[in-house]
């Protein structure tokens, strides 16, 4: 292995050793190492085929009902694992982009004492799309308790004038790391550039009624991989609905939505 390869593996393995139950800061540092093109290499274990061949297939393991592809973090760990089949060295971002759309996570060093560390597919999605662009999970989601009727009224009024909007939902999101925020779920009729611009303008016109210091974010209801959108579809009725004007319902709070239980992961 080259010196740069050794350094890359060493960074991931150093971060991996820091991860213990409840240490979400250490786990986030591990995700950052995996997402870094300079440090994020992993050795994917191939159940079928050879690296680069059309029939190459990653291994599969199931933990608590969730699927993961096993990998190791260095050539030394590959040797220690006793794996005798083929393997493929890939960047963490590339592995994440391959696995998360099929709801597969990544399991690091399953042969290690304690069983290694599992990265759920939702965190692979964060690695693939940018860790700073999506909140750190597991997320706690609930119906917003904060009273801001002026904002909701203005938002609904502007949505009614924005023909691209079908409905709006809302949730209070508490990330594992970082400040909580109000999420607005946007259900749109189409995603053409004209519609996207109209929806963006609608939000810009509406956030003037948001109290100072209250973070507000938006999420596309059509995103089948976003945990906030998943929760909104399952738990929140629209507070604005162009077609039926449905009354809002109060969903019950949910902890860790979209993530597996912490046992065996981080």
Q: What is the pLDDT of residue 259?
A: 72
Average pLDDT over residues 194-206: 97
Give whole-number Cα distances, 100 to 88, 103, 223, 233, in Å. Answer: 18, 5, 13, 20
95 and 198 housed in the same domain: no
Where does the pLDDT of residue 1 fall: very low under 50, low under 70, confident under 90, or very high at 90 and above? very low
Whether residue 118 lies inside any domain: the answer is yes
Number of domains in the chain: 2
Average pLDDT over residues 63-87: 95
Q: How do residues 43-62 score in pLDDT, each as one tens digit?
A: 999 998 888 888 889 999 99
Q: How do residues 109-159 score in pLDDT, each as one tens digit?
A: 999 999 999 999 999 999 999 998 889 988 999 999 999 999 999 999 999
Tokens read off for 8? 């890359």
31 and 129 housed in the same domain: yes
Please say which residue of 133, 165, 196 terminates a domain: 133
Q: Is 96 exposed, middle or buried (0-12, 13-18, 19+ CB in 10 A)?
A: buried
Give the residue from 90, 185, 105, 99 showing the smallest Cα distance to 137: 105
Whether residue 263 lies inside any domain: the answer is no
Q: Is the pLDDT of residue 253 over 70?
A: no
Q: What is the pLDDT of residue 248?
A: 47
Whether residue 260 lies inside any domain: the answer is no
Residue 215 structural domain: 140-255
Mean pLDDT of the chain: 89
Q: What is the pLDDT of residue 55?
A: 86
CA distance 169 to 174: 17
Q: Is the pLDDT of residue 266 over 50?
A: no
């Amino acid at each position: 292995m080259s010196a740069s390869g050794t350094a890359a593996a060493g960074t991931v393995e150093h971060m991996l050793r820091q991860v213990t139950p409840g240490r979400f800061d250490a786990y986030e540092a591990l995700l950052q190492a995996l997402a870094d093109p300079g440090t994020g290499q992993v050795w994917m274990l191939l159940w079928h085929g050879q690296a680069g061949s059309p029939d190459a297939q990653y291994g599969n393991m199931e933990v608590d009902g969730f699927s993961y592809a096993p990998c190791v973090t260095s050539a030394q760990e590959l040797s220690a694992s006793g794996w005798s089949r083929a393997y493929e060295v890939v960047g963490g971002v590339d592995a994440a982009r391959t696995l998360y759309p099929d709801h597969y996570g990544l399991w690091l060093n399953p042969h290690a004492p304690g069983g290694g560390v599992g990265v759920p597919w939702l965190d692979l999605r964060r690695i693939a799309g940018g860790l700073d662009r999506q909140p750190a999970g597991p997320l706690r989601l609930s119906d917003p308790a904060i009273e801001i009727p002026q904002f909701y009224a203005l938002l609904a009024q502007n949505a009614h004038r924005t023909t691209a909007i079908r409905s709006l939902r809302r949730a209070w999101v508490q990330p594992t790391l970082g400040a909580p925020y109000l999420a607005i779920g946007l259900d749109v009729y189409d995603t053409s550039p004209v519609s996207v611009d109209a929806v963006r303008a609608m939000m810009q016109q509406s956030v003037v009624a948001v109290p100072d210091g209250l973070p507000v974010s938006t999420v596309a209801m059509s995103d089948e991989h976003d945990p906030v959108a998943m929760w909104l579809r399952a738990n929140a009725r629209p507070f604005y609905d162009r077609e039926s004007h449905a009354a809002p319902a109060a969903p019950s709070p949910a902890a860790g939505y979209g993530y597996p239980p912490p046992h065996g992961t981080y």
